[in-house]
Chains A and B, each alone.
Chain A
Amino acid sequence: MHKELQVYFRNLNNIFLPLIFFFLIISIFPLVLGPDKLLLNKIIPGVIWITAILTTLLSSNNFFRDDFNNGIIETYLTSEKSIELVLFLKIVSCWIFTCLPIIVFIPLVSILFEIPFKNSITILFTLLIGTPILISIGIFGSALTLGLSKNNILTPIIIIPFYIPVLIFSASAIESVSSGLPYDLQIYVLLAILIFVVPIMPYLLKYTLELSVNN
Chain B
Amino acid sequence: MNISKIANLKFFYINTKKISFFLSIVTLFLFSFGIYWGLFVAPADYLQGESYRIMYVHVPAAWLSLQVYIIMAIAGFIALIWKVKIMEIVSIQCASIGAYFTLIALVTGMIWGKPTWGTYWVWDARLTSELILLFLYIGILVLYSAFNDKRQAVKITSLLAIIGLINIPIIHYSVEWWNTLHQGPTVTKFERPSVHITMLIPLLYMLFVFNIYFLTVLIKRIRFGIFQREKNSKWMEDYLND
How many residues does chain A have at the interface if contact means C-beta atoms less than 8 Å apart? Answer: 26
Can you name 17 A-B pairs with beta carbons within 8 Å?
A144-B160, A147-B147, A147-B149, A147-B156, A157-B139, A158-B139, A158-B143, A161-B132, A162-B167, A164-B171, A165-B170, A165-B174, A168-B178, A172-B177, A207-B159, A211-B155, A212-B152
Kindly provide the distance from the CB of B214 to the nearest chain A CB, expressed in whole angstroms. Answer: 23
Tell me whether B3 is interfacial, beta carbon within 8 Å: no
- Nearest B residue to A166, CB-CB: B174
Tell me whether A82 is interfacial, beta carbon within 8 Å: no
Residues B149 and A211 in contact, CB atoms below 8 Å apart: no
Tell me whether A160 is interfacial, beta carbon within 8 Å: yes
Residues A168 and B156 in contact, CB atoms below 8 Å apart: no
Residues B146 and A154 in contact, CB atoms below 8 Å apart: yes
Kindly provide the distance from the CB of B238 to the nearest chain A CB, expressed in whole angstroms. Answer: 30
Kindly provide the distance from the CB of B128 to the nearest chain A CB, expressed in whole angstroms. Answer: 9
Kindly provide the distance from the CB of B132 to the nearest chain A CB, expressed in whole angstroms. Answer: 5
Residues B142 and A164 in contact, CB atoms below 8 Å apart: no
Minimum-distance CB pairs A-B, first 8: A165-B174, A158-B139, A215-B152, A168-B178, A168-B174, A161-B135, A211-B155, A165-B170
Cα separation A213 to B200 with both chains bound (whole Å): 51
Tell me whether B181 is interfacial, beta carbon within 8 Å: yes
Tell me whether A151 is interfacial, beta carbon within 8 Å: yes
- B residues sitting closer than 8 Å to A (CB atoms) are 132, 135-136, 138-140, 142-143, 146-147, 149, 151-152, 155-156, 159-160, 163-164, 167, 170-171, 174-175, 177-178, 181
Kindly provide the distance from the CB of A162 to the nearest chain B CB, expressed in whole angstroms. Answer: 6
Kindly provide the distance from the CB of B129 to the nearest chain A CB, expressed in whole angstroms. Answer: 9
- Nearest A residue to B173, CB-CB: A165
Set A157, A159, A160, A172: member contacting B142, Cβ < 8 A:
A157
Chain B residues, CB < 8 A from A165 = 167, 170-171, 174
Cα separation A144 to B147 with both chains bound (whole Å): 11
Kindly provide the distance from the CB of A143 to the nearest chain B CB, expressed in whole angstroms. Answer: 9
Chain A residues, CB < 8 A from B167 = 161-162, 165
Residues B171 and A161 in contact, CB atoms below 8 Å apart: yes
Set A140, A151, A193, A204: member contacting B146, Cβ < 8 A:
A151
Would you call the interface of chain B mostly helix, strand, loop, or mixed? helix
Chain A residues, CB < 8 A from B143 = 144-145, 154, 158
Chain B residues, CB < 8 A from A159 = 139
Chain B residues, CB < 8 A from A88 = none
- Beyond the given pairs A161-B171, A207-B159, 13 more chain A to chain B contacts, judged by CB atoms under 8 angstroms and listed by A's residue number, are A145-B146, A147-B156, A158-B143, A158-B160, A162-B163, A165-B167, A168-B174, A168-B175, A169-B174, A172-B178, A172-B181, A208-B156, A211-B152
Cα separation A168 to B182 with both chains bound (whole Å): 11
Tell me whether A38 is interfacial, beta carbon within 8 Å: no
- Which residues of A134-158 are within 8 A (CB) of B? 140, 144-145, 147-148, 151, 154, 157-158
Cα separation A158 to B163 with both chains bound (whole Å): 12
Q: A144-B159, A164-B132, A208-B159 are in contact. Are A215 and B175 (CB under 8 A)?
A: no
Chain A residues, CB < 8 A from B138 = 157
Cα separation A103 to B166 with both chains bound (whole Å): 29
Kindly provide the distance from the CB of A215 to the nearest chain B CB, expressed in whole angstroms. Answer: 4
Residues B171 and A212 in contact, CB atoms below 8 Å apart: no
- Nearest A residue to B133, CB-CB: A161
Cα separation A147 to B147 with both chains bound (whole Å): 8
Kindly provide the distance from the CB of A73 to the nearest chain B CB, expressed in whole angstroms. Answer: 15
Cα separation A67 to B163 with both chains bound (whole Å): 25
- Nearest A residue to B134, CB-CB: A161
